[in-house]
């Protein structure tokens, strides 16, 4: 399924800004860490390029799960598009109630993405986030063979809210 977008530009950036202090008798020395790696992204299908983005904030009731078909997702323009390659993954558990999510190990046609093995999962506790970006080859999505990504609510009674961003290539 080809992309319907005509342009996609942006910057993927991580910001870590921390200041450590130690109070002494007459002064308070500081160690300021400010690291901000970034990568530019332009429209296309090569290195440092993407032609498809999908994002959403989703809610799962206690004990529920969903399998996202990476080959068929409806984007913010209301158009159904699918990934052949995913280069950017961002997950954030924003529940605020202690519930956690498990990412990976779909019931059928699981795609391992950054996890390497289809049956592996990644737990994100409340407040945690994870981002992975591969500007080069990304992670293959094989329609009908390895195109499902499971997101499961690990809590039996609490709802979980999470943000998800996927970016990559649809040829």
Ranges of each domain in the chain: 52-169
- As a whole number of angstroms, the distance between CA 138 and CA 104 comes to 17
Beta-carbon-side half-sphere exposure of residue 73 (alpha carbons within 13 Å): 27
DSSP letter for each residue of 27-76: ---EEEEEE--EEEEEESSSTTEESEEEEEEEEE-TT-EEEEETTSEE-T
User: What percentage of the chain has pLDDT greater than the value 70?
Assistant: 99
**Residue 171 pLDDT exceeds 80:** no
* Stated pTM of the model: 0.91
Beta carbons of 87 and 134 less than 8 angstroms apart? yes
Region 19-32 average pLDDT: 96
With CA atoms as reference, report the closest residue to 62 among 153, 162, 161, 163. Answer: 153
Region 104-128 average pLDDT: 92
Tell the CATH topology of 52-169: Jelly Rolls (2.60.120)
Look-up of token digits 């997702």:
73
Q: How confident is the model at residue 8 (pLDDT cuts 50, 70, 90)?
A: very high
Digit-coded pLDDT (tens) for 46-90? 999 999 999 999 999 999 999 999 999 999 999 999 999 999 999
pLDDT of residue 4: 87
**Residues near 95 by beta carbon (within 8 Å), at least 6 away in sequence:** 126, 158, 159, 160, 161, 162
Q: How confident is the model at residue 143 (pLDDT cuts 50, 70, 90)?
A: confident
pLDDT of residue 1: 60
pLDDT of residue 116: 84
Region 37-43 average pLDDT: 96
**Residues near 92 by beta carbon (within 8 Å), at least 6 away in sequence:** 124, 128, 129, 162, 163, 164
> In the numeric block, which tokens belong to residue 54?
């999908």
pLDDT of residue 144: 83
């Amino acid at each position: 399924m080809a992309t319907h977008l005509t342009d996609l530009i942006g910057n993927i950036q991580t910001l870590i800004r921390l200041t450590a202090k130690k109070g002494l008798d007459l002064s308070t020395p500081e160690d300021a860490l400010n690291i901000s790696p970034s990568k530019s992204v332009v429209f296309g299908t090569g290195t440092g390029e993407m032609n498809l983005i999908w994002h959403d904030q989703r809610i799962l009731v206690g004990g529920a799960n969903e399998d996202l078909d990476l080959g068929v997702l409806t984007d913010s323009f209301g158009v159904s598009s699918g990934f052949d390659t995913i280069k950017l993954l961002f997950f954030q558990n924003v529940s605020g109630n202690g519930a956690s999510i498990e990412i990976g190990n779909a019931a059928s046609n699981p795609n391992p993405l950054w996890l390497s093995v289809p049956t592996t999962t990644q737990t994100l506790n409340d407040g945690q986030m994870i981002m992975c970006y591969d500007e080069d080859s990304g992670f293959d999505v094989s329609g009908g063979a390895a195109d499902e990504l499971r997101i499961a609510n690990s809590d039996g009674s609490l709802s979980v809210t999470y943000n998800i961003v996927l970016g990559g290539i649809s040829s």
